[in-house]
Structures are given as structure tokens and as C-alpha cells.
Structure 1
Amino acid sequence: MTRRVSIVVPALNEAAGIAATLGALAPWRAAGHEVIVVDGGSTDATVPLAAAWADRVLAAPRGRARQMNAGAAAARHGVLLFLHADTRLPPGALDAIERALQRGAAWGRFDVRIDGRSRGLAVVAALMNLRSRASGIATGDQAIFVRRDAFDAAGGFPDQPLMEDVELSRRLKRSAGRPACLRDRVVTSGRRWDERGMWRTIWLMWTLRWRYWRGTPAEVLARAYR
């Protein structure tokens, strides 16, 4: 029998696209899975829009890690899927997750495709997927899924303002092994690439990752990211 999944969506001022993201999850809800939106203090219409499409809309202190941990704490099912508010799951995502879990994986992520105006985003996405597959480190854009027991054993997301996905991946690798790297592709928004410029964003993200690997505190990196 297919395991039930709790989809946790952290959100902050996502009124422009939250209904489309959550509307695409309606078949999941109809099949008995749940969708939990965790709002970090939106000042737009995110909350009322999400309420029409989610099983629950929670409020939590701002910050993806805190919001996702709050959603995980409220989740009813044994598999957690963390989905960014600007990301769409591929067709067959549920079956792909179930197959990975049946093969013994405790956690995993999808390949990603970036939808944006900037040229070269297909190459950026391909490099992200290759890096993740080689390192066993997943990013939030790749829709991380994990068994609830493995998530709890790893201590959940660390309470930090940036690189929470990288740190969770490290914890899960130590406690539960390498991730299942699914080739099915989620589609995520390229808005940050379009707004900042592709090459500037690539340089920024690689620099931040290198500094984090060298031990720079996440709080310092978050200020540089902003």
C-alpha cells in the first residue's frame, strides 16, 4: 500500500503563485495525503489564498527552517515532503517516492528544472543535479522527501537562516545514508536568477556554499545573501 505523505509548504508573501502551487496538489489531497502551509508572517493575501487549497495553514516565526519544522511537527503521516511555494512536482511524483522508499531509501530528492527568462538555466539546473548526485547534498528547490522517523532522528532542520537544506542533508547522510536522487524533475521558479542575473547568482551561491563549508556561520551568510 502506498504510504501517506504530508506535504509541507513554507510561504512568505507568495500570493502571486500560491494558489497555482497548491491547486496542483489537489489530487494528492483527494488520495488521502495532506498539505500543510506554514506562513512566516505574510503581509499579502497568501494566508487566505492558501486556506482554500490546504488542509491546514499554520503560522510560525519567519525562516524556512523554523516554518518547515513547525509543519513537520503538525504532520500526521509517516513521510514528509518539503515543497517550496514556487515549485511544482512532476507527474508520477508519488509513485517515484514510493519506489525509492521500497528500495530502502530513508530520504531523497528530485532533479530540478528552472523556469525563467535567463539564458543558460537548463545548464545551471543540470549542474545542480549533477553536484547533488555526486555529493549527496540536496537543496530545498529539489523537493526533499524523508521518512518521519529519519527526519526526527536527524534532529530536523537546524535553526539557522540559510543553508538549512545543506545541513539537513549532512545530518541525514550521517544517520540514514545517501539520498535517493530521482531523475523525475520538479519545476522551480527562476525568479532569483532573473532578478539578480544568472552569472551573479551562480557566483553568489557558489561563494556562499564555499564559505559555509569553510565554517562561516549561517547568520553571516544570510546577510550576504540578502
Structure 2
Amino acid sequence: MKTCVIIPALNEEQNVARAVHSARAASGTDVRVIVVDGGSSDKTRRAARRAGAHAVLSCTERGRGVQMNFGANSRHAKDAQALVFLHADAVLPANYTASVKRLLFEESPPAVLGAFRLRIAGALRGVRLVAWGANIRSRLLGLPYGDQALFLRRETFDAVGGYPKLPLLEDVRLVQACQKLGAIRIAPQDVAVSDRRWRVLGVARTTLLNQVIMLGDALHVDLHTLATTYRASYQRAAEQRSKRPSARP
């Protein structure tokens, strides 16, 4: 099974190597790792190459959905049977390709789309409860988010048109499109995601903001407006945190 892991990145010099290493760690499999950079001002591209990415591409347009489509539609991924989309601050579980193969190709009927359980790395209080809630949502509603490393067959990705060009919730839209075609399944291994978002905003504020975004989307609020609200809230919190003498880097 030819598998392509696509990692969108923007100023991820400190994280991207771990993501690449985890993608390359699967033994005895045909895996290609593509990092798609959205115009980083740091050494993200260099770090990705040094970590062993098979291709490091530069995308002139920023945005996870745009960058992931760019990687999936590149010549490096055209012959892949399975596509795995991994955030740059996340680490895949050991032998993840076995789960991808089983869920997408061996089960009957096979899953249309799969994802891993979420684990938020770090000792921040409350993140275990957040991960627990995300995993319950994924299983009961069949609605995993992008930080759970979504994976699907090449033909499925093409059939739904890839990720929509949106400023936010592109992962949710992809999953919703796949739900119309068949089953969404969750692999029993964990993908480990950095707790940095929760460290900046705090667990309660991050959870509340995410729910506000989802509610706004359900009420058909313009996604560009929601994206602006999200980024402004995050930026304010980051600036306030940087002024604290005890703030972690």
C-alpha cells in the first residue's frame, strides 16, 4: 500500500521534524512524506528536509486546506493509494500504516475516512478532559477533526473534491462530505498533539472559543468573520501572555 503523509506547515521550525520522523517511522511500508510550506519566515523548510521529508513544497497561498490540497495534488502524491493529513505539531502513533490499511482496505465494508484518537501532549490541567470529549464526539457522531490525522483513499479524496478552500473548518467540511459516502471510523491508537493552543488561551477559553465557532457555523455566520474572530482572540491572548514575566516560551 502506497501511503502519502501530507504535513501543512507555517513557521513550524520547532515542531515539523517530530511530525516528519513519526510519519517516516513506519517500517516495511511504502510511505512518502510531503511537507507543504505556506511561506515560513523561519527555518521550517530546512528542518523538514533534515528530518527526512521526501519532498518539501512551497505553496504561494496560505491555509491548511489549500496547502494540503497542493500536496495531495502534487506529482509526489499522485500514485498514493492512501492519503494521511498530519498537522505539523502532531506525532503519529507507531505502526500507524497498519491501521490505515485495515480501516480503508481490509474491513468489510471499508471506512470512507478514518482518524486516530486524540491525545494532547503536555501536563496542562484539563487537556485530558478535552481529549476525552473529542474522542467521544468522534466515535458517537463520526466527526473527527483535522488534529486527529484524517486519512482516506486517494479516490475518495478526488471524489469529494479534496479540502474546500475555506479560512476555517475545512477539516469539518471534508469529513461531512465523506459521511455522505459511507462510514467514518476511528483507529485505536493515539495521535499526540501539542498543547500549545491550550497554553496560550487556557483550556476553558479555548474550549469556549471552539464551541462559539461551531455554533456560529451552525447559524451560518460567514466563515471569514469566524476566522477573524478566532485569530484575533488567539493573538490577544498570545500578546498578553508574552508580557507575563513567568510566561513559558
Q: TM-score, normalised by structure 2?
A: 0.86
**Any idea what SS the aligned residue of 2:40 has?**
coil
Deviations 1:39-63 (A, max 9, x none): 0000000011112221111111100
Give % identity.
39
CA distance in 2, matches of 1:116, 1:210: 28
The range that moved more, 114-123 or 203-212, is 114-123
Q: Aligned runs of 1:32-181 on 2, under 5 Å? A: 32-52=30-50, 53-60=52-59, 61-74=61-74, 75=77, 76-101=79-104, 102-103=106-107, 104-174=110-180, 176-181=181-186
Q: Matched residues in 2 for 1:26 and 1:179: separation?
A: 25
Give distance in 2, aligned partners of 1:48 and 1:165.
27
**Which shifted more, 210-219 or 18-27?**
18-27
Secondary structure of the residue aligned to 2:12 is coil
Distance in 1 (CA, whole Å) between partners of 2:222 and 2:3 is 33
Deviation at 1:30, TM superposition (A): 6.8
Instruction: Return the letter of the residue paired with 1:89.
Output: L
State the AA in 1 paired with 2:56: V
* Alpha-carbon distance in structure 2 between the residues aligned to 1:105 and 1:178: 5
2-side partners of 1:85 and 1:30: how far apart? 24
Question: 1:99 deviation in Å?
Answer: 1.2
Distance, in Å, in 2 between the alignment partners of 1:54 and 1:30 is 17
How is 1:17-28 mapped onto 2 (pairs within 5 angstroms)?
17-28=15-26
Task: Tell which structure's C-alpha radius of gyration is larger.
Answer: 2
Render the CA deviation track for 1:137-175: whole Å, top value 9, x for unaligned: 12111000000111111111010011000011111111x
CA contact (8 A) 2:8 2:86 kept: yes
Query: Normalization by structure 1: what TM-score?
Result: 0.95
Equivalent residue of 2:165, what SS?
coil
Contact in 1 for aligned 2:19/2:86 (Cα 8 Å): no
The answer for unaligned runs of 5 or more in structure 1 is none
Letter of the 1:35 counterpart: V
Alignment partners' CA distance in 2, 1:173 and 1:41: 33
Q: Does structure 1 conserve the Cα–Cα contact (< 8 Å) formed by 2:22 and 2:94?
A: no
| Contact persistence 1:82–1:145 (CA under 8 A) | yes
Deviation at 1:189, TM superposition (A): 0.5
Question: For residues 12-62 of structure 1, what are the alpha-carbon distances to aligned partners after superposition, in whole Å with 9 as ceiling and x for unaligned?
Answer: 000012122212333348732100000000000001111222111111110
Distance 1:84 1:71, change over 3 A: same
Residue in 1 that maps onto 2:217: 212
Q: Aligned equivalents of 2:101 and 2:154: distance in 1?
A: 14
Gapped runs of 5+ residues in structure 2?
232-249
